[in-house]
Amino acid sequence: MTDKNIVLIGFMGTGKSTVGKILAKRMNRTWIDIDQRIEEQQKRKISEIFEKDGEAAFRAMEKAMVREVAIGRSLVITTGGGAVVDEENLRHLKNSGLLIALTAAPETIYQRVKKTTHRPMLKSGDLMTEIKTLLGKRAPFYAKADMTFTTDKKTATQVAIEILGVLQKDEEFEFGKDWF
């Protein structure tokens, strides 16, 4: 099997981390979540980093972590929603493996993120308006993925199985019969 990483990108609330965790388990790969790594390294939450140091400081940490993690092989990497807005991050991740975008309609994202309090990018105003505005700005970056999966009305397991089904047909990712 190829040692190319599998990299999940996409907007907040598209299920990147949950799907990535399932994918890694089924493919017997190590799962690395960039945001989780940053929180471990900094010994504080992303929301606290934003609050105390600002977004620019967070983006610098994110950039350093992307660079570090992208060196690894045979990983399932999950990214924060803003990671691929940076050209250098996008290049490192793309060079390290297969870029898979998860998408969802603004309404779906709204339902998924409305109860969460840990997302500093969605804190200032009307939630639906913020989602639509940011999604509009980010969509061109997510469109640079090698493949895209919609996640509306699907569970994380369903999305993971769908991805595995496509990877199974990709000759680089030899079919692992124990994936499903």
* Minimal CB distance residue for ligand S3P: 80
- Binding segment for ligand S3P (CB under 6 A), chosen from 63-71, 101-109, 119-127, 159-167, is 119-127
- Outline where 2-155 has alpha helix (H): 16-27, 34-42, 46-53, 55-69, 87-96, 106-113, 127-142
Beta carbon nearer to ligand S3P, 2 or 47: 47
**Which member of 15, 82, 97, 106 binds ligand S3P (CB under 6 A)?**
82
Nearest to 37 by CA among 3, 6, 83: 83
Q: Show the site string, 46-65: x = touches ligand S3P by CB under 6 A, - = not.
A: x-------------------
The DSSP secondary-structure symbol of 85 reads G
Beta carbon nearer to ligand S3P, 84 or 98: 84
80 part of the interface to ligand S3P, by CB under 6 A: yes
Q: Which helix (H) or strand (E) holds 157?
A: helix 156-169
106 part of the interface to ligand S3P, by CB under 6 A: no
Pairing of strands 75-78, 5-10: parallel
In the chain, what is the straight-line distance between the N-terminal and C-terminal CA atoms, in Å? Answer: 16
- Binding segment for ligand S3P (CB under 6 A), chosen from 78-86, 142-150, 152-160, 164-172, is 78-86
Beta carbon nearer to ligand S3P, 89 or 96: 89
130 part of the interface to ligand S3P, by CB under 6 A: no
Nearest to 128 by CA among 112, 143, 152, 149: 112
Three-class secondary structure of residue 105 per DSSP: coil
Q: In angstroms, what is the minimal distance from the CB of 177 to ligand S3P? A: 31
The DSSP secondary-structure symbol of 116 reads -
**Which member of 4, 21, 120, 127 binds ligand S3P (CB under 6 A)?**
120
121 part of the interface to ligand S3P, by CB under 6 A: yes
Q: What is the per-residue DSSP string for 132-152?
A: HHHHHHHHHHHTTSSEEEE-T
Binding site for ligand S3P (CB under 6 A): 12, 16-17, 35, 46, 80-82, 119-121
